[in-house]
Amino acid sequence: MAIKVDIVTPEKMLYSGEVEMITLPGTNGQMGILRGHAPLLSTLDIGEIVLHKREGNDYLAVSGGVVEVRPDKVTILADVAEAEGEIDEERARAALERAERLLAENPPPQQVPEIMASLRRSTLRLKVARRHAGRRASAGLSYEGGGGGESN
């Protein structure tokens, strides 16, 4: 049985639909949610949201926010989030290089957490964008390689 999912950012409704399962990065660890889950509220880390659907998985990048779980519905209020198809890979790569460069320059300790967060966001965006590219490349071919294979 499916569970309803709404994913909202300050800018727009990013996703609204039904899925078989959703996995998301809670700040206390990765969570997998099926219909009938006990109600809960959690904050979100930087990580991947996977929408498990009958026809295949969809992937999104999320950076912070909150999730409300009810037995029939998951509502995500994301601070920042992108669907796999809207990630600008070039921009993410530039952000990653910038973060790596800043870290290599021995930044003041108080700047390190923000640089590390930028590094994690850009690494995540590249991972999600590559899943998208992999799926497009395999569309119309066999199932081989579709979805990227990783399950975390």
Q: Which two structure tokens, joined as six digits, stand for 67?
A: 């999730």
CA dihedral 130→125→2→64, nearest 10 degrees, is: 170
In whole angstroms, how close is the CB of 12 to ligand ATP at the nearest point?
Answer: 9
Amino acid letter for position 89: E
Could you give the C-alpha distances from 115 to 48, 102, 112, 128, 134, in angstroms and in order?
Answer: 19, 7, 5, 20, 29
User: Is residue 82 near ligand ATP by the rule CB under 6 A?
Assistant: yes
Q: Which of 72, 88, 97, 114 binds ligand ATP (CB under 6 A)?
A: 88
User: Is residue 15 near ligand ATP by the rule CB under 6 A?
Assistant: no
In whole angstroms, how close is the CB of 30 to ligand ATP at the nearest point?
Answer: 20
DSSP letter at 152 equals -
Size of the residue set binding ligand ATP (CB under 6 A): 12
User: Is residue 87 near ligand ATP by the rule CB under 6 A?
Assistant: yes
Q: How far is CA 44 from the centre of its chain?
A: 10
Q: Which of 14, 19, 24, 95 binds ligand ATP (CB under 6 A)?
A: 95
User: Is residue 63 near ligand ATP by the rule CB under 6 A?
Assistant: yes
Site for ligand ATP in 122-141 (CB under 6 A): 125
Smaller CB distance to ligand ATP: residue 19 or 92?
Answer: 92
Smaller CB distance to ligand ATP: residue 72 or 88?
Answer: 88
Could you give the C-alpha distances from 144 to 137, 138, 140, 141, 149, in angstroms and in order?
Answer: 11, 7, 11, 8, 9
If you search the block for the tokens 């889950």, which residue do you land on? Answer: 37
Q: Where on the chain is the footprint of ligand ATP (CB under 6 A)? A: 63, 80, 82, 86-88, 91-92, 95, 118, 121, 125
